[in-house]
Amino acid sequence: MAPKKQVSQRKSPKAGANPPETKEDFENELKSLAGQAKNDTWSQWTKQQVAVYGKAAALIILTAVYASVSVLTISPVYGQIAANRLHQYVVWAGLFVGWAGNLALRRALPVKAITILPLMALQIPMFQFYLFALSNLFGAEYGPAITEALTLFPLVAVSASCIADILDQADLSGLPSSIANPAPGLVSYIVFRYSETSFFKQLIEQMGTSIMQTRMALELVLAATYSIMGRSQLLRYAVPGILHAAFYNTHLMTESATASLNSTLNANGWSLVDRWESNTGYISVLDSYANGYRVMRCDHSLLGGEWTKFGRNIVAEPVYSVFTQLEAVRLVQVPRKVLDSEARALNIGLGIGTTPSALISHGIDTTIVEIDPVIHKFASKYFGLPPNHTAVIEDVVSWSQLNAPTLHEQYDYIVHDVFTGGAEPVDLFTDTFLEGLKHMLKPNGVINYAGDFTLPPLSIVVNTIKDIFPSCRIFRENESPSEDKVEEAGRDFDNVMIFCLKTDDKITFRKPVEADYLKSISRRQFLVPQHEVPLSAFSSREEVGILRSNETEKLAKWHDKSALRHWDVMRTVIPGEIWNQW
């Protein structure tokens, strides 16, 4: 008979360790199990809280980026200043309504709020498209706010409600109630504002670097991101918005959208030559074949234009006489005047390149500083900007500061022409920057400023220029209107040219000779400035002061009013339908 097998007291590996044999072993095992349970609970709690805050942060940032893109999308129709003017009020209202009304919204909706967000985001481009067509009715003062109230506001409100829902799961039990209650809302708003501000700057810097970095494409990309965060069968209701974007939305930077846009423009006597988006705005080149001229626009502002029906000799015939009058900088009489072939010119701001093209054609060594690469590209490609110049594509303030030591008294002529969109870049009219120009200038230079004679900023700029340059004469492009006409129109908007010398010498213009006209009809008629403005027409320095680098708010506070008036002027120059169908 085979011996009995002894039963082993050891458990298999799956069964775990030996059972406790003493009271002390049992207590130790209980402590071990309690510690393990505590660690498991802590790990699970940490993962849950990280997921809560991560999801909330992602939705906050996504909404902030969409808010920034909304402003950029509205800018071509209303201009960037008008688009920004009431933007924050719309955002604040959306955040407040969504956060404070979270409970009511949750009860009112038959589905989770987060599942509605993709549907809303995918419809916004279509709604914007049709709202832009009503810009003449809305006007620049309230049009951007109305447009965002019907598009961005609902998206922000529902997003804020979703963020509040998510943060309800945040465990703030370790904080006093006086801190725990307001903390989620306050921190969310701080993250939102920081994200909106920082991403807005990044979006502008990267705008146009690819087709995905364009306004309408960014809206669609953000809508797709919302779709990932709030997956839902409701997306089938977004089909109208998707189809509209694919086949009817001419604001997309695709060949098919451009062809569709051109068919509409052609019916109105216009043709789109080219367009792209860049760091200063939406840039396009348009032909009015009915009237025989070509223009370049940046958002809701014209950078210049030339007559195509007259053809091109040495240079083109500009639509605006102010650009030919700027060329009168060559006619200012100064001691020891150099020949054109020996002269150097600095042109700040390019536009379509009317003035620098003429300077180059006269044989002057010309440097152009322009911040927007697309403007330089289009001026060269479509407006005949000669290639024999030095192009500096960067911010002129940074460029001048960096190169100041090597640019002392390097230029015989300086043309300062940077006005666009209803307001001047404030930094380019401070005493510090103008002192830098004086440092670069030899005997004479020209400063160009366009503004509304009925507003104080012009006096501030004039006083700042006069404070830097001892001798100046001021001209306007057109004859001064009567007081009755100014009162009736509510504005006196005109291009202003300020010719200044570095010395105390009186400014006089020599009589032009045939070569000065460059075989141009408009230059023969407008080259010499005619409508001088007396210095007494401007407020004194004691009344309005000058523009110092640390006091730029003195000028910036008037930008809103100036931009709104500029919008009205632009609508009289080119029909609203053309501005809207960007």
Choice between 545 and 121, residue whose per-residue pLDDT is larger: 121
Decide if pLDDT at 447 tops 80. no
* Mean pLDDT for the stretch of residues 526-536: 92
In terms of CATH, what superfamily is 321-574?
A: Vaccinia Virus protein VP39 (3.40.50.150)
Decide if pLDDT at 280 tops 60. yes
| Low-confidence winner among 182-191, 282-291, 541-550 (lowest mean pLDDT) | 541-550
Choice between 16 and 184, residue whose per-residue pLDDT is larger: 184
Report yes or no: 491 and 565 within 8 Å, Cβ to Cβ.
yes
* Mean pLDDT for the stretch of residues 110-123: 91
Can you tell me whether residue 345 is helix, strand or coil? Answer: strand
Candidate CATH numbers 1.10.3470, 3.40.50, 1.10.1060, 1.20.1250; the one for domain 41-255: 1.20.1250
167-194 residue pLDDT tens: 988 888 888 888 888 899 999 999 999 9
Can you tell me whether residue 64 is helix, strand or coil? Answer: helix
Question: In angstroms, how far apart are the furthest CA atoms of the chain?
Answer: 138
> What's the pLDDT score for residue 13?
46
Decide if pLDDT at 1 tops 50. no
Decide if pLDDT at 361 tops 70. yes
How far apart CA 578 and CA 102 sit, in angstroms, is 42
Choice between 135 and 562, residue whose per-residue pLDDT is larger: 135
| Low-confidence winner among 58-67, 329-338, 517-526, 540-549 (lowest mean pLDDT) | 540-549
- Where along the chain do its domains lie? 41-255, 321-574
Decide if pLDDT at 446 tops 80. no
Rounded to two decimals, the pTM is 0.88
Using CA atoms, how far residue 381 sits from 374, 385, 560, in Å, is 10, 7, 33
> What's the pLDDT score for residue 19?
60
| Low-confidence winner among 2-11, 25-34, 110-119 (lowest mean pLDDT) | 2-11
> What's the pLDDT score for residue 433?
93
- Residue 485 pLDDT grade (very low, low, confident, very high; cuts 50, 70, 90): confident
Residue 189: name the closest of 88, 117, 109 by CA: 88
Decide if pLDDT at 578 tops 50. yes
Decide if pLDDT at 496 tops 60. yes
Report yes or no: 154 and 26 within 8 Å, Cβ to Cβ.
no
Report yes or no: 328 and 529 within 8 Å, Cβ to Cβ.
yes
Q: Tell me whether residue 262 is exposed, middle or buried, using C-beta atoms within 10 angstroms of its C-beta: 0 to 12, 13 to 18, 19 or more.
A: middle
* Mean pLDDT for the stretch of residues 295-300: 95
User: What six digits make up the tokens of 487?
Assistant: 């009162």
DSSP-H helix ranges across 207-320: 215-229, 239-247, 255-266
* Mean pLDDT for the stretch of residues 501-518: 94
> What's the pLDDT score for residue 204?
93
In sequence order, what are the beta bridge partners of 452? 493
* Mean pLDDT for the stretch of residues 474-500: 85
Decide if pLDDT at 257 tops 70. yes
Cα atoms found within 13 Å of the Cα of residue 579, Cβ hemisphere only = 28
34-75 residue pLDDT tens: 666 666 677 888 888 899 999 999 999 999 999 999 999 999
Residue 300: name the closest of 316, 279, 284, 317 by CA: 284
How far apart CA 381 and CA 392 sit, in angstroms, is 17
User: What six digits make up the tokens of 382?
Assistant: 């479509």
> What's the pLDDT score for residue 15?
47
Residue in this structure with the two tokens 């002027």, named with its chain if needed: 569
How far apart CA 179 and CA 188 sit, in angstroms, is 14
How far apart CA 368 and CA 383 sit, in angstroms, is 15
- Residue 20 pLDDT grade (very low, low, confident, very high; cuts 50, 70, 90): low
> What's the pLDDT score for residue 255?
87
> What's the pLDDT score for residue 14?
47
| Low-confidence winner among 286-300, 362-376, 552-566 (lowest mean pLDDT) | 552-566
**In sequence order, what E strands does 186-309 have?**
270-278, 281-288, 293-298, 301-307
How far apart CA 577 and CA 137 sit, in angstroms, is 12
* Mean pLDDT for the stretch of residues 523-548: 89
> What's the pLDDT score for residue 312?
87
Residue 293: name the closest of 417, 378, 382 by CA: 382
> How confident is the prediction for the chain on average, in pLDDT?
88
555-577 residue pLDDT tens: 877 888 888 888 998 999 999 99
Report yes or no: 452 and 496 within 8 Å, Cβ to Cβ.
no
% of the chain with per-residue pLDDT over 70: 91
Report the Cα 157 to chain-centroid distance in Å.
24
